[in-house]
Structures are given as C-alpha cells and as structure tokens.
Amino acid sequence: MRYLLFIFLFLSSFAWSARVTPEAALQKLIEGNDRFMKSALEHPHREDERRTETAIAQKPFAVVLGCSDSRVPPEIIFDQGIGDLFIVRVAGNVLGPIEQASIDFAVLHLGASLIVVLGHDKCGAVSAVVTGQTEGIEPIAKRIEPAIEEAKKQKGEVLENAIKDNVLHVVGQLKGADEFEELIEDKKLGVVGGVYDLQEGKVQIIEQKKP
C-alpha cells in the first residue's frame, strides 16, 4: 500500500512539474481549433509510443467541461490527441458535485493548468429551460435556470444570451472554488469560457462579466 501511495505521489509531482502555463495551454487549444476549421488536422499524439507513455501515467494540459452533444467532441474540435485533454461532459455543460470532483482530480493531481467551460449554439439543454420543456432533465435544468433569468434581462435573443451566460456562470463557480483560489492567484491555473459554433466550427473565447 505504501509503495502504491509513493508511486501516486511521485506521478502527481511529475505532472505538476510538467505543467504548462495557462496562457500556453489556451494558445494550444486556439491553434488546434484553427486547424480544425481549416481542415488541416494534425491528429497529434495518436501513435503507439503515445499510448504506451500514457498507459503509465497521464498529464493532460487542460480540462474541458463540455456539453454531451454529439456534435461537440473536444479532442476533435481542438485537434488534440491521447493524454492531452481531460474531458468532463454533461448535457448543458453544468457543474455539479460529480463534475467538480472530476475537475479537481485533473487539476490537483494530474497537473492540468487550464479549465475550459465549453458551450455551443443551439444547445438543447439550455433551449429546453428557455421554453419550459424540462421534463426528464430537472436536475440539469435547475443548474441552468440562473443563466436564463440573467439572459431575460439582456437585449438580444434569449437563447443565445442564455448559452453564453450559462458558460460564464459555470466559469464563475469554478473560479470561486476554494481549492482553486491559490492556483488562480499564483497564475498556475486559468479558467475560461468558450462557445462553439456548430456550423463554422469555431470556438469563441468569452470573458467573464465583471461585477
């Protein structure tokens, strides 16, 4: 047991030492998304050597909390490979205890330096809350409702605003997590939002609203 604990701590320390900056991690994702849009995918880190390496330990450079929608696969739209991204997917890209615990593991133990909350246009979960058709998805709808209320106060199309507000609401939740506070202050961890355009294939990075 002590031996296994030693191995775990060693691998965790190695992951932290290999951490890239949040800015560099975001740039890698932006560049990958640009390749995806241009149909110039590199499909990195898919060779046999990479599978062997990651079978021993993983050290993803970023976490993506994304929607379960089949049209928004993070590894593809960001052109990343095996071991690059730690993916947490749930309808409406909402944040609950299970999602938070998964992200905690990726950041605190695997050394990911960036969290991207990834929404997308025409999101079915957000649309269901906007139209009041939430039967069967009540636990998800409850977490989206604050964004809907905020969107109704704004100019423009409610669904479009709600999708962005939902992403930013989750960004705010993650930034406010006690376990991330010091990492964010020390600029070892970044948390950003993004909205994916289903037609264009572009991920637009969006800023959290200032109080």
DSSP 108: I
pLDDT at 210: 55
Express each pLDDT in 41-58 by its tens digit: 998 887 888 898 899 999
| Helical pair 158-175 and 138-151, crossing angle rounded to 10 deg | 110
pTM for this prediction: 0.89
Q: Which amino acid is at 185?
A: E
pLDDT at 16: 46
pLDDT at 47: 80
pLDDT at 5: 40
Tell whether the model's pLDDT for residue 211 goes beyond 60: no
Q: What percent of the chain has pLDDT over 70?
A: 90
Tell whether the model's pLDDT for residue 135 goes beyond 90: yes
pLDDT band at 12 (very low <50, low <70, confident <90, very high): very low
For the chain, the domains span: 2-206
CATH of domain 2-206: 3.40.1050.10
